[in-house]
Structure 1
Amino acid sequence: MLQIIQSPSKYIQGPNALQKIGCYGKLLADHYLVIADKVVMNITKDIIENSLKTESVQSHFELFNGECSKNEIHRLGDVLKANNCRGVIGVGGGKALDTAKAVAYYNKVPVLIVPTIASNDAPTSALSVIYTEKGEFEEYLMYPTNPDMVFMDTIIVAKAPVRLFVAGMGDALSTYFEGRACSMSRAKTMAGGQSTLAAMGLAKLCYETLLEEGYKAKLAVENGVSTSAVERIIEANTYLSGIGFESSGLAAAHAIHNGFTVLEECHHMYHGEKVAFGTLTQLVLENASEEELETVLDFCDRLGLPITLAQIGVKEGDGFTEKKIMEVAKASCAEGETIHNMPFKVTPERVYAAILTADALGKAWRA
């Protein structure tokens, strides 16, 4: 099998990076459909519109309805065609960005990605996670290329809710461990081949950066400021994790996240929060060393990432049953899920046991 690494054509990060979108965007199209939800639109519309106008680039702004579903993708595609747009700018969080990528793909136009939060590694990837209208995971939509450009305005990101910033670290936390598992099993990655030295190097750097800078960055963002630690975590959450997961592979952590989407009580949790618990569960599945488990438990607990079932909404008093967790385990092991990239056979029974053990470890750590 070939070894493959892939990435966006251009990654642009720094204070006020969004003010340059017209300068770079004009290289690819002269008329953009700009997609964002209401809150994000209020924050960014004037900046984007003024930057595009300065470079004589036209724009049409359309509100994103909140779910990266097939219906929403088709609706926005119709808006793009009705307004003769020749490019897409997606602004906001993971679902808005994934939707923008899908609209651009189906209409064969370039896409510029503008995250306003560093809550996951979706911005750089050549895939979208498609959900049902009810918010349940449906499928991965794979693209032949990564986004044309990614803009990370660190001033905007630093002012986003702290919980979202921390959730991004939860998502990034899984990158090294899932990549390591895929490397051991020689599994095919999202890039279409086996991982490269460069991809695993980025995944490991991502993990090391989280441990070194994560807590300091959280404290800065709590005060609405951007420091060197914040800049480094934004790069870890977005670029290092994005290239790392896509080109070194996904395994159990993300599959277990997908499993938890079948439980309605978990729908209020962010992607990265569920992935963090999925990472802990993957380490239990692997029978990781006590030292590694304690490092992950300490990192998550200090940042406020969930390490127990109760913290992701599954509480014994709310009808916690063996059946519920087995539903999660079975969904995690569905045909085609990335959990089968683990270097050993995984069954729902093993996942069920690992989830309960991860919960017990988390309870003991917090006690």
Structure 2
Amino acid sequence: MVKILIAPARYVQGPYVLADLGPYVASLGKRVFFVGGKKAVSIVRERGLESLKEASLEYAFLEFYGECTREACERIAQEARDFRAEVICGVGGGKALDTAKAVAYELGSPLVTIPTVASSDAPCSSLIVQFKEDHTFDRFLRLKRNPDLVLVDSEVIAKAPVRYLVAGMGDALSTWFEAKTCSQSYRKNVPGGLSTQASLKIARLCYETLIAFGREAKMAVERKVVTPQLERVIEANILLSGIGFESGGLALAHGIQDGLHCLDGTQGCLHGELVAFATLVHLVLEGYPAKVIERVIGFMKSVGLPTTLQQIGVTDKSQAHLRKAAVFACREELPTHNAPFPVNPDIILWGILAADGMGETLH
């Protein structure tokens, strides 16, 4: 089978890189339409506006709130058309970036993503997750290509709430284990091919970076400073995990986190927090040795990621309640089925309960 690797065309990271926003964007078009939350938009205005003016760019800002729904994306796409946008630029967290991606998808325009938090690998991804007005999942879309530019100002990331960085580490923690599963099982990655050696090496580096520098990176954000350790972890959360999950593949961890959304109490969790606990379930179900599981749990506890059901808000640990998550995780379209064995709700349920016990007792 054909091997495929996909990645953003250009990735730029460092402190104060927003001050050079204009020249980076100018190569893609002269009329730039920004989509983001109020705070994220204010950051770009404060740090990048002069650069946009100096590059003689025309620009418009749209403050976005709420879910990335089909209706919202269609409405914003029309506003971008009215502006005659040549470049779409998403600013902020996952929902704002997915909305900008959907607008770029609709218009066929070049796409720039500017994450203001390092909470997931969404900035580098070609995937778009859309929801319904009631916050339930609607559908996945895929861009024809990954973002043309990902611009990450590490000084902005350092000033964001530390919970987002930690959640990003939780999301990135699964990357190596899922890529390894897909490679060994000859499962397709997101673009529909097998993993390249490069994508597997990137996924492995992502894991090693978190383990080596995660705790120090968290400490840097708690003090709102940029350090080499933080720069490495930002790169792992956004770039390494982004390439690793798309070109390596998804498996049990992300399928199970989809199921965890069904449980009462998890609605307040960030994506990466649920992925972190689901990664423990993944390790249990694939029979990883205690040494590996203890290392992962030790890392998770050192940075404050959840290792138990209670820590993701689940107080009802009855099998009847947890089975809802297990049944959902086994839906045909989810990557749970990339596991190297047939999955069913019983197996997933047992894995969730076993992981919860290990998370409580192992250090």
Which bracket does the TM-score occupy, shorter chain normalised? over 0.9
CA, structure 1 residues 226+149, in 2 after alignment: closer, same or farther (shift >3 Å)? Answer: same
Q: Compared with structure 1, are the counterparts of its residues 264 and 54 closer, same or farther at alpha carbon in structure 2 (3 Å cutoff)? A: farther
Q: Distance in 2 between matches of 1:264 and 1:24?
A: 44
Query: How much identity, in percent, do the aligned residues show?
Result: 44
Contact 1:136 1:261 in 2 (8 A): no
Q: Supply the distance in 1 between the matched residues of 2:234 and 2:207 (Cα, whole angstroms).
A: 13
User: Which residue of the partner structure matches residue 172 of structure 2?
Assistant: 172
Where does residue 4 of structure 1 map in the other structure?
4
How far off its partner does 1:260 sit? 1.7
Aligned position for 1:148: 148
- Structure 2 residue 71 is matched with structure 1 residue 71: yes
Distance in 1 (CA, whole Å) between partners of 2:233 and 2:257 is: 22
Ranges of 4+ aligned residues in structure 1 off by more than 6 Å: none
2:102 matched residue in structure 1: 102
Deviation at 1:61, TM superposition (A): 0.5
Deviations 1:307-360 (A, max 9, x none): 1111111113xxx43232111111111111101111111111110110111111
Q: Does 1:25 align with 2:22?
A: no
1:355 pairs with 2:352:
yes
CA contact (8 A) 1:136 1:262 kept: no
Kept in 2: contact 1:91–1:113 (CA 8 A): yes
Q: Name the counterpart of 2:124.
A: 124
What amino acid maps onto 1:349 in structure 2?
Answer: D
Shift of 1:22: 0.8
Shift of 1:363: 1.4
Q: CA deviation at 1:264?
A: 4.8
Tell me the secondary structure at the aligned position of residue 95 of structure 1.
helix
Please say which of residues 324-333 and 201-210 is displaced more in the overlay.
324-333
- Using the TM superposition, name which of 73-82 and 153-162 deviates more: 73-82
Structure 1: stretches of 5+ with no match in the other structure: none
Q: Which residue in 1 is equivalent to 2:247?
A: 247
Task: After superposing the two structures, state which structure 1 stretch, 125-134 or 173-182, moved more.
Answer: 125-134
Aligned partners of 1:50, 1:264: CA distance in 2, in Å? 47
Q: 1:25 to 1:299 in 2, by over 3 A?
A: same
| AA of the residue aligned to 1:198 | A
Which residue number in structure 2 is paired with residue 112 of structure 1? 112
- Correspondence for 2:236: 236
Out of 326, 329, 340, which is 1:332 matched to?
329
1-structure distance, mates of 2:53, 2:264: 44
Q: Which amino acid aligns with 1:357?
A: A
SS at the partner of 1:361?
helix
Q: Which residue of 1 aligns with 2:193?
A: 193
Which position in structure 1 is the counterpart of 2:138?
138
2:252 & 2:137 partners in 1: Cα distance? 15
Structure 2 runs not aligned, ≥5 long: none
Structure 1 residue 131: Cα displacement: 2.2
State the partner residue of 1:345: 342
Match of 2:312 in 1: 312
Q: Secondary structure at 2:60's aligned position in 1? A: strand
For residues 132 and 252 of structure 1, the distance between their equivalents in structure 2, rounded to whole angstroms, comes to 25
Deviation digits for residues 141-169 of structure 1 (CA, Å, limit 9, x no counterpart): 12221000000101001111001001000
The size of the alignment, in residue pairs, is: 363
Q: Which residue identity lines up with residue 104 of structure 2 in the other structure?
A: A
* 8 Å Cα contact 2:264/2:313 also seen in 1: no
Residues 223-269 of structure 1: CA deviation (Å, up to 9, x unaligned):
00010000000001111110011100000111111112223521110
| Conserved 8 A contact 2:263-2:322 | no
